[in-house]
Amino acid sequence: AQSVTQLDSQVPVFEEAPVELRCNYSSSVSVYLFWYVQYPNQGLQLLLKYLSGSTLVESINGFEAEFNKSQTSFHLRKPSVHISDTAEYFCAVSNTGFQKLVFGTGTRLLVSP
């Protein structure tokens, strides 16, 4: 069975500093990988996804994630965070044969001035 591990439950960072949110997955088959963002009392929004091709994927608001098959990782990075990036971030995986997503437990990003 697939699983997703987000080791950091909370990551505090100062505004304009870089950040990395870690995600590791376990799967014996090819996968699709996703990062979702959730603002307080709202649903989840897709931030970026890896389906195939280039292992580096980017979002429109400056986040990027790199698929590393050998390390089974899909870490999320941003070179300079804003206060507005404060939210909870979920990593998710699905295998290429069936669409049911498996989510990690989430990482709360806290950006302070």
Binds another protein (CB under 8 A): choice among 28, 29, 43, 70: 43
Alpha carbon dihedral 70, 76, 80, 83, in 10-degree steps, equals -160
45 binds another protein (CB under 8 A): yes
Residue 105 CB, shortest distance to another protein, in Å, is: 4
- Give the x-and-dash track for 72-111 against another protein (CB under 8 A): ------------------x---x-x-xxxx-xxxx-----
Alpha-carbon distance of 3 to 25, in angstroms, equals 6
Q: Which residue has the tokens 């014996």?
A: 28
- Contacts with another protein, residue ranges (CB under 8 A): 9, 32, 34, 36, 41-46, 49, 51, 90, 94, 96, 98-101, 103-106
